[in-house]
Amino acid sequence: MSLKQGPGGSDVDEKLAALLTNANAVRAIASAVEGTIGPKGLDTMLVDRFGEVIITNDGITILTKMDVNHPAARMVINTARAQEEEVGDGTTTTTIMAAALLSEGVTHAIKGVPVTRIIEGIRIAIKRALELMEEKARPLNGLDDAMLKRVAYIAGREREDIADLVIAAARMIGEEKLKDEAFKLSDTILAEEGASNEVFMGVIICKERLSKQMPERVEKARLLIVDDALEPEQMEEEALGTEAGFSRYMELQEDFKRNIQKLTQMGINVILVDRGVHDTAEELLTDAGVMVVERVASDDLRRAAEHTGARPIKRTSLRKEPEEIEKCVGTADLVYEDEKLGHIRIVGGKGKPMATILVGAATEEVVGERERIAKDAASAVQAAVKGGIVPGGGAIEIAVARELEKLRGGMKGMAAYGAACVIEALKKPLAQIVANAGFNQLEKVGDVIAAQAERSSDSLAIDCETGNVEDMYELGVVDPKLVKTHALRAAGEIAEAILRIDTIIKKKDEGSGTEQQAQQGAASDEEF
């Protein structure tokens, strides 16, 4: 981006040009998602150049599907993406607060407050805000706590059927597994057109069996996972042109046949393959009544391995003795193909417990959105189990902002302006929620601040149905604490990173010739 000094422009204007440009870009990004937040938030339509349409209320989907070129805007989107990967929810809140922090920071910088002092104050205030959120969080009383269902309901955009599915799956998996950092409940979700809502202990493989002549249903399954192609070992084409090379090729073909026959003799009756399956293997395994599924996604292979206790092998391992291969075989009560939905189910595996949430959708157009909603609900439930809950609806942010006013009052120097930025950013979620519900945000934010102070309650916010101040815990409007703390921390980090940028310089094309470089060197000193 190029910025030019206009006639009569001041030194202050020139120094703040980069900051203003970046803040405006971030503000534009926030405006694209702020209308979706809260129970009255609306949907966004995303249209690509081919006319394909996505209608969604999901912040991260909107952000990542937008056509964005500005580098500061992309920084915010990457931060939101990191928030999604870490806790699976809160990306809209992160974006809204980051934009508010930057907007307030620019306002103070224009007044003459040094950016370094603003950043100092932001750091201090966010550190204290995170401590306050930790202190105010409530732990859950196990997976039967009624508030856990409310977490799923709120994060699932008030779809009770989806909330019920997620809670059932969470209870099936257990608290210990949900607290495992390597496990994501959202990964167990699959939405399919024409399916019925269902939760079961097992895994879905989104593929059909290799051949219709193979068994459709296998009970007492002995399952082998080949993390490779099920094909003979390859030879260089040049080697095949020699007599010795051709002889070696035929030996490999025979070895491959013997290895496949060895698997059938071991009683292996289900094989999942990462890549393709050779015609010879398909013929032999079909004759032996083995179900084979090829080109299975790596995530599906991993889940199948965990659930059945199988250990994936490479094709070279097929040469091993049966005793060695046996150590890699997994087991399950039943493996069968659902022909209507076009997938394979593995049920009752003898490895780790693995639940699958199947979300039904009436039409193809809503499959993606139903899946996104369910993943948000599942991520929120898991975050709540890990870190407890806080009052939702913007209540916890207002409570923390009130506490930070005390901190700001005791701060010396200009760092207090940075704390003021955080205070205003914390008011933004409630302000946007009530604005989306059709109320005056200044009035309602003021009402909540006054009511929290008067009643000494941190859980008061606005009921978006009536516009009255209500207790969010009593209404069952709750959020995972981890979502809130991650959102605030991420917003602070990205705001600080952008505030520190005071110059934008267009890079020269490293691949350009000397003539183009000379032209760039002759450009006006005003253009940067």
**13 falls in which pLDDT band (50, 70, 90)?**
low
Question: Per-residue pLDDT tens for 19-74?
Answer: 888 888 899 999 989 999 999 998 888 888 888 888 888 888 888 888 888 888 88
CATH of domain 11-138+390-499: 1.10.560.10
Closest to 394 measured CA to CA, from 465, 335, 330, 477: 477
- Options 3.30.420.10, 3.50.7.10, 3.30.70.100, 3.40.605.10; which CATH number does 199-361 get? 3.50.7.10
pLDDT of the residue at 492: 94
- Facing residues of 218 across strands? 335
Question: Per-residue pLDDT tens for 80-132?
Answer: 888 888 888 888 999 999 999 999 999 999 999 999 999 999 999 999 999 99
Closest to 394 measured CA to CA, from 385, 402, 384, 382: 402
- CA-CA distance, 97 to 213, in Å (whole number)? 58
Question: Given its phi and psi angles, is residue 158 left (phi above 0), alpha (psi -120 to 50 degrees) or beta?
Answer: left
Per-residue pLDDT, averaged over 318-346, amounts to: 94
Of the listed ranges 40-54, 321-335, 394-408, the one predicted with least confidence? 40-54
pLDDT of the residue at 236: 66
Closest to 498 measured CA to CA, from 111, 103, 11, 14: 103
- CA-CA distance, 373 to 377, in Å (whole number)? 6
pLDDT of the residue at 246: 67
Same fold, 11-138+390-499 and 199-361: no
| Residue 226 C-alpha from the chain's centroid | 29
How many residues make up the chain in this entry?
528
List own/partner pairs for 156-164 with CB under 8 A and 24 or more apart. 156/373, 156/374, 156/376, 156/377, 156/380, 157/57, 157/373, 157/376, 158/39, 159/373, 159/377, 161/197, 162/197, 162/359, 162/370, 162/373, 162/374, 162/377, 163/377, 164/197
- Averaged pLDDT score across all residues of the chain: 88
The residues spanned by each domain of the chain are 11-138+390-499, 199-361
pLDDT of the residue at 259: 93
CB 478 within 8 A of CB 458: no
Closest to 439 measured CA to CA, from 464, 472, 475: 464
Question: Given its phi and psi angles, is residue 438 left (phi above 0), alpha (psi -120 to 50 degrees) or beta?
Answer: left
Buried b / exposed e along 396-411 (16+ C-beta atoms within 10 A)? bbbbbbbbbeebbeeb
- DSSP H or E segment with residue 353: none
DSSP class per residue in 119-160 = HHHHHHHHHHHHHHHHHH-B---STT-HHHHHHHHHHTTT-H
Place of tokens 């393959």: 273
pLDDT at 248 over 90: no
238 vs 314, which has greater pLDDT? 314
pLDDT at 465 over 90: yes
Per-residue pLDDT, averaged over 258-266, amounts to: 94
Tell me the two tokens of residue 158.
């008030």
CB 93 within 8 A of CB 512: no
- CA-CA distance, 252 to 246, in Å (whole number)? 10
